[in-house]
Amino acid sequence: MEHLEQKPFPADFLWGAATAAYQVEGAFDEAGKGISVQDAKNFSNPVHNTTVASDHYHRFREDVALMKSLGLKSYRFSIAWTRIYPDGVTLNPQGIIFYNQLIDELLKQGIEPLVTLYHFDHPQALQQAYGGWYGEQMIEDFKRFVQTCFSEFGDRVRYFMTLCESNNVVLYPDLIGGVPEGVAVEAWRFQVSRIMALANARVIALCREMLPQAKIGPCIGYAVAYAATCAPQDVLAAMNEDEFRTFYPLDLLCLGRQNPTVVSFFAQRGVDIRLAEHELAELKIAQPDFIAFNYYQSNVAKYCPPAGQEIQPGFNSDGQKGGFKYPHFPGLYAGDSNPYLERNDWDWEIDPAGLRIACRKLYDRYQLPLMITENGLGACDSLVGGKINDVYRIDYLQQHIAQMQLAISDGVPIWGYYPWSFMDVMSTSNGYHKRYGFVYIDRDDHQLKTLRRIKKASFYWYQQVISSNGQQLFNQESCK
């Protein structure tokens, strides 16, 4: 569809940027903080870990001043569960003090907080006690944590995200502590999807009770699936990927329904994943205000014979093209590369038009406003003469913002855009070798160096995008 005239971005559009607690804060054991699954996971590397990260915990006022300079209208950050409840049960008042200070500093600078309540970092104590999100008790433990967040911060925070990428954490179990010994991975996946959906519903209900003026919604990671060819088997494979990877969990979170194709597929293999009627009723009542989604790339799906060998997806860990392991799920779909798109060094296809497609598919299915809460380019940035000329990141973001505006012109209500990330963070799978930020952090995976903050070229470019409310997308010449 071509538009004779594009709609402008709304006057109150939330131009933002995003981070996550365990990737930026550091201070992993200070002021009463407990050990999270991310802390435990990353202890094996003496520098690429959560002990210091980007040292945001100690430098948050400096960082918020940079956000103000950038012109951010909103900042998406997560609250570390283990700062508030170090062991999942015992309250730590010092953690509340830190986030009160951060929120107050943001509001002082005119920046709207968007709080992520869970971003992959539950207490290691809960993982050891009952397998974390695999256990029924997780629902009440999470609700306790969230109730404290609502009580302590809800007078100043108007936007909350419940769970970050609940669909991707089941695809990549190691992100949230792994599968307990003796449990089949598919059984684990559907139990975690169920537990997260029920936790999401109860947190939304709690928000309606405690903070009726607040807006709250879930977050997924969405990589639109294209058919490898126009062969019907490939078209069905692409439908399977969308339905199994994205729509099954999101239907639970937003519609209180289980996708019948997914239920039927596992029933034929002797696995009953049906939820109890009272659970579905609870999910259906808890309607979110918006859907947040993280978009980096699109996928390609092709036919995967039922008798084929299963291959679980795997990350490219070193930034050398060709290292990504495409999944094979027999009887469903197999992943493949897209010959029509460029790839970054980590084998992620760069597909700006896919963002527009994702917006239209999500809004058509769920009829809820959208928030794009992550979108960005990971790259090996170089500090040369005290500057970082990341024109490749500008190009990536420029094209994606243009497609977002086309989606708005298509009639999709989009409330905000939060590129990943505000500053360089400890990438979940690649440390500081892979950078995303508008602000460079002077450190690497081997040395902490100065941790100095340095504005990249993309910082100045995004500054103008925000100040013009998206009208100066293409003015690279003004980047300093």
What pLDDT was estimated at residue 45?
A: 63
SS3 308: coil
Active site residues: 165, 374
Q: How confident is the model at residue 470 (pLDDT cuts 50, 70, 90)?
A: very high
pLDDT at 172 over 90: no
Beta bridge partners, 454, equal: 440
pLDDT band at residue 46 using 50, 70 and 90 as cut-offs:
low
Alpha carbons 301 and 303: distance in angstroms, whole number = 7
User: What average pLDDT does the segment 62-69 reach?
Assistant: 98
Q: Average of pLDDT values for 386-403? A: 97
Q: What is the predicted pLDDT for the residue at 345?
A: 81
CA 162 vs CA 126, 329, 448: distances in Å: 18, 29, 33
- β strands within 175-230, DSSP E: 215-217, 219-221, 225-227
User: Tell me, what's the pLDDT at 141?
Assistant: 98
pLDDT at 409 over 80: yes
Q: What's the rounded mean pLDDT across residues 406-413?
A: 97
Mean pLDDT over each residue of the chain, to the nearest integer: 93
Task: List the beta bridge partners of residue 372.
Answer: 293, 417
Using the predicted structure, report yes or no on whether residue 477 has a pLDDT greater than 50: no
Q: What is the mean pLDDT of residues 343-349?
A: 85
231-260 pLDDT, tens digit per residue, is: 999 999 999 999 999 999 999 999 999 999
Q: How far apart are CA 14 and CA 24, in angstroms?
A: 22
Cross-strand bridge partners of residue 226:
300
**pLDDT score recorded for residue 95:** 98
DSSP code of 7? P
Q: Map residue 173 onto helix, strand or coil.
A: helix
Nearest alpha carbon to residue 287 among 228, 229, 218:
218
Q: State how far Cα 302 lies from the chain centre.
A: 26
336 contacts 228 by C-beta, under 8 angstroms: yes
pLDDT at 382 over 90: yes
The CA-based dihedral angle spanning residues 249, 250, 251, 252, taken in that order and rounded to the nearest 10 degrees: 60
Examine the pLDDT at 44 and tell me if it is beyond 70: no
> What b-and-e string marks burial along 155-193, b requiring 16 or more CB atoms within 10 Å of the CB?
eebbbbbbbbbbbbbbbbbebbbbbeeeeeebebbbbbb
pLDDT at 479: 44
Rg (CA), the chain: 21
d(CA 417, CA 293) in angstroms, rounded, equals: 10
Q: Tell me: pLDDT of 480 over 60.
A: no
Share of the chain above pLDDT 90, in %: 83
Give dist(CA 208, CA 51) in Å, integer.
Answer: 36
Domain 14-220+349-478 fold: TIM Barrel (3.20.20)
Tell me the pLDDT tens digit for each residue of 109-161: 999 999 999 999 999 999 999 999 999 999 999 999 999 999 999 999 999 99
Q: What is the dihedral of CA 169, 170, 171, 174, to 10 degrees?
A: 60
Listed by start position, the domains of the chain span 14-220+349-478
- Measure Cα distances from 468 to 259, 288, 324, 403, 462 in Å: 42, 31, 38, 17, 10
**What's the distance, CA 104 to chain centroid?**
24
CA distance 118 to 478: 38
Helix (H, G, I), strand (E, B) or coil at 123: strand
- Residue 385 neighbours by CB distance under 10 Å: 6
Contact 125, 92 (CB under 8 A): no
User: Cα(214)–Cα(303) distance, rounded to whole angstroms?
Assistant: 44
One-letter amino acid at 443 equals R
pLDDT digits (tens, 9 = 90+) for 275-333: 999 999 999 999 999 999 999 999 999 999 998 899 887 776 666 776 778 899 999 99
Distance CA 5, CA 409 (A): 8
CA dihedral 207, 210, 215, 218 (to 10 degrees): -10
Q: What average pLDDT does the segment 431-454 reach?
A: 94
Could you count the other beta carbons within 10 Å of the beta carbon of residue 136? 11
Q: What does the pLDDT read at residue 442?
A: 96
Instruction: Read off the pLDDT band of 223 (50, 70, 90).
Output: very high
Question: Of 329, 331, 332, 297, which Cα lies nearest the Cα of 313?
Answer: 329
Percent of the chain with pLDDT over 70: 95
Q: Residue 304 contacts by C-beta under 8 Å, 6 or more apart in sequence?
A: 237, 328, 329, 330, 331, 332, 333, 334
Q: Which residues pair with 163 in a beta bridge?
A: 118
Residue 202: the pLDDT is: 98
Nearest alpha-carbon partner for 108 in 70, 148, 67: 67
Confidence of residue 426 (pLDDT cuts 50, 70, 90): very high
Q: Dihedral of CA 80/84/87/92: which sign?
A: positive
What is d(CA 452, CA 457) in angstroms, rounded to the nearest whole number? 16
pTM score above 0.85: yes
Structure tokens that stand for 421 in this block: 């990330």
CA dihedral of 121, 122, 126, 130, whole degrees rounded to 10:
-80
Number of DSSP helices (H) and strands (E) in the chain, helices first:
16, 15
Is residue 474 pLDDT above 60, yes or no?
no
